[in-house]
Amino acid sequence: MKQSTTKSASLGRPSGRDSEKVRRDLLESARDHFLKRDFKAVSLREIASSAGVNGAMVNYYFGGKKGLYLAMVDELFESLDEKMRSLSDSSEFSIADFSHSYCLLLAENPWWPNFIVREILFSEGETKEEVLQRFSKMIAPKLLHAIGQEVEDGNYREGLNPELTLMSLMGMAIFPFLAAPMIERVFGMKIDESMANKLAEHNVALFMNGVVNQKQQVTEGTGS
């Protein structure tokens, strides 16, 4: 004898029409978890229960855990590609302006350097290659060219190595967001938007003119 009714609260095809909602909920939940913790450290059951659906849905919609992960990565990159392009496509492109905007972009999306670094450093094979490919094509070549141009035009110091300069610039911009937990601990700073603004200005000033007191140096310089 079968219990045909009231056995389970929600068995059978659901009555709502929002079939796409489950997919989106899973992606969102996956993003929340995967951006905080490692691929292996996050279980499907966690993701599914956060999304409020059955774990088997991950297989149903994405073909498995890896499928869900890659779908999430795709979505992230799409949104970032878009944002980065809008930063670098302005007609009057300057390194300083870009650095500033980039810093603010990072403040809005603090998970982003975090995610990239993790992928590049620790992920295995497949995803790593994919992320490297996408990331490397994204903006670096354009910046590299811009720096080279500035040197050629005599605006930047002669003999400045564009590659090393770009690395320095990226390091200055990205590191504070990477090290946010440590910085909050050691410096008692919160990495919010106002902080990012200060950081952006500081970085541009340091990048352009360094730390040395120019007044002093110029005075000494004219004497020699």
Partner DNA sequence: TGTACATCAGTGAACGCGCGTTCACTGATGTAC
By CB under 7 A, tell whether 72 contacts DNA: no
Does 167 sit near a copy of itself (CB under 8 A)?
Answer: yes
Please check whether residue 62 is in contact with residue 26, taking contact to mean a CB–CB distance below 8 angstroms: yes
Among 60, 122, 175, 187, binds DNA (CB under 7 A): 60
Of the candidates 69, 175, 165, the one whose C-alpha atom is nearest the C-alpha of residue 113 is: 175
The answer to the question of residue 1 lying near DNA (CB under 7 A) is no
Left if phi > 0, otherwise alpha if psi is -120 to 50, otherwise beta: which for 146? alpha
| Contact residue for a copy of itself among 86, 90, 122, 193 (CB under 8 A) | 122
The least CB distance from residue 61 to a copy of itself, in Å, is 25
CA torsion angle for 2, 59, 121, 133 (degrees, to 10)?
A: -170
CB of 134 to DNA, least distance (A): 23
Query: Buried b / exposed e across 63-91, counting CB within 10 Å, b at 16+?
Result: eebeebbbbbbeebbeebeeebeebbeee
Reported in sequence order, the residue ranges of 46-134 that DSSP labels E, i.e. its strands, are: none
Q: Does 42 bind DNA (CB under 7 A)?
A: yes
Smallest separation, CB 30 to DNA (Å): 11
What is the contact surface with a copy of itself in residues (CB under 8 A)? 37-38, 40-41, 114, 117-118, 120-122, 124, 132, 135-136, 140-141, 150, 154-158, 160-161, 163-165, 167-168, 170-176, 178-179, 181-183, 185-187, 189, 198-199, 202-203, 206-214, 216, 218, 221-222
